[in-house]
Chain A
Amino acid sequence: MNEKISESIVRVDAHTKIGGQTKYVGDMKFDGMLYAKTVRSLHPRAKILSIDIPDIPDGYFIVDKNDVPGKNRVKILIYDQPFFAEGAVNYIGEPILLVVGPDRDIISQIISQIDIEYEPLPAVLTIEDALLENSPRIYGQDNCFVSHEYIKGEPDDAFANADKIIDGEYRTGYQEQLYIEPQGVIGIYENHRMTIYGSMQCPYYAHRAIAEGLGWSEDKVRVIQTTTGGAFGGKEEYPSLLSGQVAFASLKTKKPVKLVFDRDEDIQTTTKRHPSVIHHRTALDSNGTIIAADIDIKFDAGAYAGLSDVVLQRGMFCASGVYNIPNLRVRGRAVATNTVPNGAFRGFGAPQAFFAMDMQIEKIARIIGINSLDFRLKHALKKGDRTCTDGLLRHDVKIPEMMSRIEELSDIRDKIKKFKSQTGRIRKGIGLSMFYHGCGFTGNGEEIIHGTATLRKYPDSKVEILTSNVEMGQGALTAMRKIVAKSLEIPIEDVIYENPDTSRVPDSGPTVASRTTVIVGGLLKSAADELKQRWNEPGEIEVSKTYHHPKYIEWNQETMHGDAYPTYSWGINVVEVEVDTLTYEITPKKVWAIFDVGVPIDERMMRGQIEGGIVQGLGYGSIEVMENIGGKIQQGTITDYTIPTAKDVPEIVSEMLDNPYEYGPFGAKCSGELTLIGAAPALAAAVENALEIEINKIPVRPEELLEKMEL
């Protein structure tokens, strides 16, 4: 491999996946294997008064809270979510028990005869309800799982001296990951050991959760990731809950137990993107320059804390967008409601924050009568500037170059003017968004987990990658092999990379936060560089590397000051739409996108990320409607929760800018989540341009456009 790292190769998993040969957890069978099905709460908040179980045939089992030998709490950030409900339920769909047995028809019949008596309690169903003074307390004193605040500069002074203050409130809805393969795990108890096979992003998260639930030492547990048919964050923390459940079931039945979700069940009961309400208050001086901002972020966390604390923090660290705002106050709250718990989803708090900031920028530009492109450029961050948390931007920020290229490609500057004051049935509109993604874990996360990755050279000169990072469709199996093969100058066929098995691989951290290539790939690169030096040593050689942040990083978690991320990837998106004023249907016509991801490890895989991310972002901004009424998801089936199909996808023109990161493998930065962030705000801005209205909520629905335009 003498060519540039970015030159595309055929993905190592392409043929078996496209050819239908790949086995997923749903395809796996073990001798004597039983099936499990979950019985769930029908109430958003209630006491369980009694559970009436019918006589069940031999070989069938009920598995519930009484079958949890260790702690009946899922290890995530705090211990608040039970594996099985304990006398009370806190959201519709909360797991109460499993029915386990050999025949799924009989399981289905048993479930239909189980009678659970509830005493409903007053529930809290929305962010607004949760924060009312007299609402029921469902978590702590204030119904907030966490509240954070950070301050940069002197926001109070700046607001006092402002020439103009502009307010805006922005709302974003749920988004469901809708990975193709639903959640699934298999638990196998054998010889006082527990093995879990599962579709997941973070084998070690599940590993520790199972050990605590069983009350066993970690060395008696083994977790093997099965080929994962999409995840998007939805298989970050959630599989820990299911892994525990099948472990308890297998321990009780002494047989392998498989739990695979139905699609409706998956949509209705698993974690989603947090709905948000974000308030912006922006202070301008007499030159129309932003001198301060006060930003209040509220995320609907659902019934349990999950990962909401860190999702919120990432949202807060994107609050002021790509703009240099010298004085800043950012407040964030993760609010408890009696709804399905929300969790990780590609972007992890950033899409909500960037949408709000981008819409506020458009609003300010409109009010003060300045071209929004110029207004954005005037405030754009550059190398040497301070980030929102007062960190230093040490690396080149190529916003001006990216901006001039996307203007050239999309002709947005002229089109914005041309599309004003249109008449006629079809109106065109064009909009832009600018955004970044902080690479790797937020704050001191990478310094807490200190991920380790290992390379092992066998005597036949094959080299195995040993990490806990998984392929979930994003291309990790190929990218990591490329990094190692290229560093060692060996054929890619000589690099082995199996799905992680916690009995064989070190903990290199979870497959999340766009960290796999930049952080773990970086470890593999330095392991490979060392292995190359030692290549001729006899026998098996093993090289391990453990991650430490570059020395320049300064971060104070207490005050949330300093470098929240080691570096950033950047993007600008432009979306052009047509709006039919007869029906208010929005049709995205074309998307232009420029990204700075350092150096892409594989250009075609990067285009896959770009196009997939943009389509997922367009869906988030327009047609992916999910409402929770009375604690119940209204679009709870794949029929009603509509993600874009091929017919909804416009032409996408994308380019990548070279901007190597010295600590990333071959200069790579992060790329997986970045690509989702910009499409929704750019689409919303395009609708603003087309109809000359203000959009402050996504998804942008025809129903709401009709209301704004005609009612």
Chain B
Amino acid sequence: MVNSYRPKYLNEALKIRGEKNVIPLAGGTDLMVRFRNISGAIPKFDKPVLFIGHLDELKNIEIENNFVKIGSSTTLTSLLDSENIPSILKSAISNMAAPTIRNIGTIGGNICNASPAGDTLPPLYILDAKIVLSSIDNQRIIPIDKFIIGPGRNDLKDDELLTKILIPNKKFNKEFYKKLGTRKAMALSKISFAGLAEIEDDKIEDIRIAFGAVAPKIVRSRTIEQEIIGHNINEINELSYSIVKEYSEFICPIDDQRSSSIYRKQISIKLLDYFLNNLDNI
């Protein structure tokens, strides 16, 4: 028999987390599927469940010191309803699942699930999001790309909870998001692409690019971004061949029940090429 804990406050949750070997559950939209049992039987959780989705302390969205601070149990719907959430993240969320699932699924859950096809991840990567990991007597803040260490694997320690997501409050004047699923709602991504840029007088002041579902982790290369930054958008056409070639090394998708590796690779490259060559009219 599996116990479950439903603490009233975050402190209590962190205490339980520190003392017991539990699995945190916020919305449960991934975990209830992962641990499903035959119909009519209780889910096969192998550890006690710690419910955190109801904790008010984890549901705030605040602006502080040039950061948007998002509580980890904030639902996807609440993010869509908030004025403070960067629009590229909203684009991704509005393409996730369907309203019913977005009403219960949380941003913290989507991050901790660490799926290469997790739809909040490419925008969070290029927004330079940081993750706040709390335990009863400690707190650490790490970049999202350090938190996710492999497909389904993250750096959450046994006594920690992901409590907040910090997004630098920076504006971009160009953005492009595209999710390709097997249908227009309730679909896992075959590919997702997220691109942000800041263009001033045709000069690329900043550019950030991420690909989802085409490698074991989200693909983002700061090195390649640095090579693009500083160029005039009129030079991109010439450069794009070598940029595409560099990204190609990182895009190593698989064949699975949703799509083919060839499609994923080719379309990722096309989306990149489209973004680069349309910086003036996106």
Quick one: given A582-B274, A623-B182, A644-B183, are A104 and B40 in contact (CB under 8 Å)? yes
Q: Measured between alpha carbons, how far is A706 from B267 in the docked complex, in Å?
A: 9
Highest count of chain B CB atoms <10 Å: which of A35, A111, A642, A645: A642
Residues of B within 8 A of A587 (CB): 184
Does A634 make an interface contact (CB < 8 A)? yes
Does A625 make an interface contact (CB < 8 A)? yes
Residues of A within 8 A of B39 (CB): 104, 260-262
Q: Measured between alpha carbons, how far is A104 from B39 in the docked complex, in Å?
A: 8
Does B262 make an interface contact (CB < 8 A)? yes
Q: Measured between alpha carbons, how far is A643 from B186 in the docked complex, in Å?
A: 10
Does A639 make an interface contact (CB < 8 A)? yes
Q: Is the CB of A702 within 8 A of B263?
A: yes
Does A115 make an interface contact (CB < 8 A)? no
Does A711 make an interface contact (CB < 8 A)? yes
Distance of A163 from chain B, by nearest CB (Å): 41
Q: Is the CB of A625 within 8 A of B267?
A: no
Quick one: given A703-B262, A706-B263, A711-B266, are A108 and B184 in contact (CB under 8 Å)? no
Q: Is the CB of A623 within 8 A of B183?
A: yes
Distance of B131 from chain A, by nearest CB (Å): 27
User: Which residue from B38, B258, B262, B270 sits with its C-beta under 8 Å from A108?
Assistant: B38
User: Which residue from B38, B257, B262, B267 sits with its C-beta under 8 Å from A107?
Assistant: B38
Does A627 make an interface contact (CB < 8 A)? yes
Residues of B within 8 A of A642 (CB): 182-183, 186-187
Quick one: given A640-B257, A647-B184, A711-B266, are A583 and B178 in contact (CB under 8 Å)? yes
Q: Measured between alpha carbons, how far is A582 from B271 in the docked complex, in Å?
A: 7
Does A694 make an interface contact (CB < 8 A)? no
A-B contact count (CB 8 A): 79
Does A180 make an interface contact (CB < 8 A)? no
Q: Which residue of B has the minimal Cβ distance to A707? A: B262
Residues of A within 8 A of B270 (CB): 582-583
Distance of A156 from chain B, by nearest CB (Å): 43
User: Which residue from A105, A261, A706, A711 sits with its C-beta under 8 Å from B41?
Assistant: A105
Q: Measured between alpha carbons, how far is A628 from B148 in the docked complex, in Å?
A: 33
Does B37 make an interface contact (CB < 8 A)? yes
Does A333 make an interface contact (CB < 8 A)? no
Q: Is the CB of A645 within 8 A of B183?
A: yes
Does A385 make an interface contact (CB < 8 A)? no
Does A6 make an interface contact (CB < 8 A)? no
User: Which residue from B33, B185, B187, B262 sits with its C-beta under 8 Å from A646?
Assistant: B185
Does B260 make an interface contact (CB < 8 A)? yes
Distance of B193 from chain A, by nearest CB (Å): 10
Residues of B within 8 A of A623 (CB): 182-183
Q: Measured between alpha carbons, how far is A585 from B259 in the docked complex, in Å?
A: 12
Q: Is the CB of A105 within 8 A of B263?
A: no
Residues of B within 8 A of A707 (CB): 262
In the complex, per-residue mask of B256-282: 1 if CB is within 8 Å of any chain A CB, else 0: 011110110011001100100000000
Residues of A within 8 A of B260 (CB): 703
Say which size band chain A's interface belongs to. 35 or more
Q: Is the CB of B266 within 8 A of A710?
A: yes
Q: Measured between alpha carbons, how far is A260 from B186 in the docked complex, in Å?
A: 25
Distance of A97 from chain B, by nearest CB (Å): 15
In the complex, per-residue mask of A29-65: 1 if CB is within 8 Å of any chain B CB, else 0: 0000001010000000000000000000000000000
Does A648 make an interface contact (CB < 8 A)? yes
Name the interface residues of B153-206: CB closer than 8 Å to any CB of A: 178, 180, 182-188
Does B149 make an interface contact (CB < 8 A)? no
User: Which residue from A111, A646, A703, A711 sits with its C-beta under 8 Å from B259?
Assistant: A703
Q: Measured between alpha carbons, how far is A287 from B156 in the docked complex, in Å?
A: 75
Name the interface residues of B218-264: CB closer than 8 Å to any CB of A: 257-260, 262-263
Residues of B within 8 A of A260 (CB): 39-40
Q: Is the CB of B186 within 8 A of A645?
A: yes
Does B141 make an interface contact (CB < 8 A)? no
Residues of B within 8 A of A147 (CB): none
Q: Is the CB of A706 within 8 A of B266?
A: yes
Q: Is the CB of B38 within 8 A of A648?
A: no
Name the interface residues of A620-655: CB closer than 8 Å to any CB of B: 623, 625, 627, 634-635, 639-640, 642-648
Q: Is the CB of B38 within 8 A of A645?
A: no
Q: Measured between alpha carbons, how far is A582 from B270 in the docked complex, in Å?
A: 7
Q: Is the CB of B180 within 8 A of A583?
A: yes
Residues of A within 8 A of B258 (CB): 640
Quick one: given A105-B37, A262-B38, A583-B267, are A645 and B185 in contact (CB under 8 Å)? yes
Distance of A678 from chain B, by nearest CB (Å): 21
Q: Which residue of B has the minimal Cβ distance to A585? A: B180
Q: Which residue of A has the minimal Cβ distance to B256? A: A634
Residues of B within 8 A of A646 (CB): 185
User: Which residue from A104, A583, A584, A644 sits with its C-beta under 8 Å from B271?
Assistant: A583
Quick one: given A583-B180, A627-B257, A702-B263, are A37 and B38 in contact (CB under 8 Å)? yes
Q: Measured between alpha carbons, how far is A640 from B189 in the docked complex, in Å?
A: 11
In the complex, per-residue mask of B78-117: 1 if CB is within 8 Å of any chain A CB, else 0: 0000000000000000000010000000000000000000
Q: Measured between alpha carbons, how far is A644 from B263 in the docked complex, in Å?
A: 22
Does B42 make an interface contact (CB < 8 A)? yes
Q: Which residue of B has the minimal Cβ distance to A262? A: B39
Name the interface residues of A80-139: CB closer than 8 Å to any CB of B: 104-105, 107-108, 111
Q: Is the CB of A634 within 8 A of B40?
A: no
Q: Measured between alpha carbons, how far is A123 from B278 in the docked complex, in Å?
A: 52
Residues of A within 8 A of B271 (CB): 582-583
Q: Measured between alpha carbons, how far is A35 from B41 in the docked complex, in Å?
A: 11
Distance of B106 from chain A, by nearest CB (Å): 19
Q: Which residue of B has the minimal Cβ distance to A643? A: B183
Q: Which residue of B has the minimal Cβ distance to A112? A: B44
User: Which residue from B37, B40, B182, B185 sits with its C-beta under 8 Å from A625?
Assistant: B182
Residues of B within 8 A of A583 (CB): 178, 180, 267, 270-271
Q: Measured between alpha carbons, how far is A703 from B187 in the docked complex, in Å?
A: 16
Distance of A611 from chain B, by nearest CB (Å): 17
Quick one: given A582-B270, A583-B180, A646-B185, are A35 and B257 in contact (CB under 8 Å)? no
Q: Measured between alpha carbons, how far is A627 from B186 in the docked complex, in Å?
A: 20
Distance of B149 from chain A, by nearest CB (Å): 25
User: Which residue from B185, B257, B267 sits with its C-beta under 8 Å from A634?
Assistant: B257
Name the interface residues of A559-595: CB closer than 8 Å to any CB of B: 582-585, 587
Q: Which residue of A has the minimal Cβ distance to B273? A: A582
Q: Is the CB of A648 within 8 A of B185?
A: yes
Q: Measured between alpha carbons, how far is A570 from B187 in the docked complex, in Å?
A: 35
Q: Measured between alpha carbons, how far is A710 from B266 in the docked complex, in Å?
A: 9
Quick one: given A104-B40, A105-B42, A582-B270, are A647 and B185 in contact (CB under 8 Å)? yes
Q: Measured between alpha carbons, how far is A262 from B33 in the docked complex, in Å?
A: 13
Residues of B within 8 A of A105 (CB): 37, 41-42
Q: Is the CB of B98 within 8 A of A645?
A: yes
Q: Measured between alpha carbons, how far is A260 from B40 in the docked complex, in Å?
A: 10
Q: Measured between alpha carbons, how far is A634 from B254 in the docked complex, in Å?
A: 14
Distance of A628 from chain B, by nearest CB (Å): 11
Distance of B230 from chain A, by nearest CB (Å): 27
Q: Measured between alpha carbons, how far is A229 from B47 in the docked complex, in Å?
A: 36
Q: Is the CB of A108 within 8 A of B185?
A: no
Residues of A within 8 A of B98 (CB): 645
Q: Is the CB of A108 within 8 A of B41?
A: yes
Distance of B19 from chain A, by nearest CB (Å): 27
A-B pairs with lowest CB-CB distance, top 9? A104-B41, A647-B184, A647-B185, A703-B263, A634-B257, A642-B182, A104-B40, A645-B185, A105-B41
15 A-B residue pairs with CB within 8 Å:
A35-B40, A104-B38, A262-B39, A583-B267, A635-B257, A639-B188, A640-B188, A640-B257, A642-B182, A642-B187, A645-B186, A646-B185, A647-B185, A648-B185, A707-B262
Which residues of A come within 8 Å of B, CB atoms? 35, 37, 104-105, 107-108, 111, 260-262, 582-585, 587, 623, 625, 627, 634-635, 639-640, 642-648, 702-703, 706-707, 710-711
Additional A-B contacts beyond A107-B41, A635-B257 (18; CB < 8 A): A104-B37, A104-B39, A105-B42, A107-B38, A108-B44, A582-B267, A582-B274, A583-B271, A585-B180, A623-B183, A643-B183, A645-B98, A647-B184, A648-B185, A702-B263, A703-B262, A706-B263, A706-B266
